[in-house]
Amino acid sequence: DQQVKQNSPSLSVQEGRISILNCDYTNSMFDYFLWYKKYPAEGPTFLISISSIKDKNEDGRFTVFLNKSAKHLSLHIVPSQPGDSAVYFCAATTITGGGNKLTFGTGTQLKVEL
Amino acid sequence: DAGVIQSPRHEVTEMGQEVTLRCKPISGHNSLFWYRQTMMRGLELLIYFNNNVPIDDSGMPEDRFSAKMPNASFSTLKIQPSEPRDSAVYFCASSLVESTIYFGEGSWLTVV
């Protein structure tokens, strides 16, 4: 039972355009959401996060949007660059639960083409 | 700064053999996690420790899997006996409680 779902296994975007990666969750107890980026043969690295008290968080070219009523979040990358090509994992946790146990989605492979 | 260190990076073993994966967390971190990555299920949490104590092992798939953390700087994940369906990338990660989780580079396991 996947509590965090990334329904698009892959996405291809042209350099300079916007990349939008989507994530849905089912557990209403989740109150903190993260995006991790993974290059081949490396471990995932933290990219950006958002608390459930916000609906948007921005860091440079990366913006995460949260729609709690729809249990949906998205990561926008603009403008997309070839170095952004990687697998992006959405993750969720319950901060009020006192821990940092993350539940991950299955990932979306982003390819940014020249 | 040394990150999370995992060994071996690659392991190929025959079905039925014991496999031991090792992890050295970032110094000072008090939470340690073992994750498994597969195409079908993405990153699954197997077990995590706080201050060397196992807190949640509900993700451990079967009794064939066991994990230990004898001290703050070392953890092992053991599979005995191994099966082909255990083939995956196993990640160790560490953090301070309620802080960013840092992953190692993974151990690629192939069971033939």
Average pLDDT over residues A84-94: 95
Average pLDDT over residues A40-66: 95
pLDDT at A98: 57
Q: What percent of chain A shows pLDDT beyond 90?
A: 88
Query: Is a pLDDT exceeding 80 seen at residue A1?
Result: no
Neighbouring residues of A12: CB distance < 8 A, sequence distance ≥ 6? A110, A111, A112, A113
Instruction: Name chain A contacts of B105, Cβ cutoff 8 Å.
Output: 41-43
pLDDT at B62: 85
Per residue in B18-27, pLDDT (tens digit) is 999 999 999 9
pLDDT at A78: 97
Which residue of A lies nearest to B43 if distances are taken between CA atoms? A104
Instruction: Name chain B contacts of A104, Cβ cutoff 8 Å.
Output: 35, 42-45
- Residue to mutate among B30, B37, B107, with most A CBs inside 10 A, is B37
> What is the pLDDT confidence band of residue A97, given thresholds at 50, 70 and 90?
low
- Residue to mutate among B31, B33, B38, B43, with most A CBs inside 10 A, is B43
Instruction: Name chain B contacts of A41, Cβ cutoff 8 Å.
Output: 105-106
pLDDT at B11: 96
> In terms of DSSP H, where are the helices of chain A?
none
Low-confidence ranges of chain B (pLDDT < 50): none
pLDDT at B40: 83
- For A10-70, the DSSP string reads EEEEETTS-EEEEEEE--TT--EEEEEEE-TTS--EEEEEEETT-SEEEETTEEEEEETTT
Q: Write out the two tokens for A101.
A: 């146990």
pLDDT at B96: 86
Which residue of B lies nearest to A9 if distances are taken between CA atoms? B39
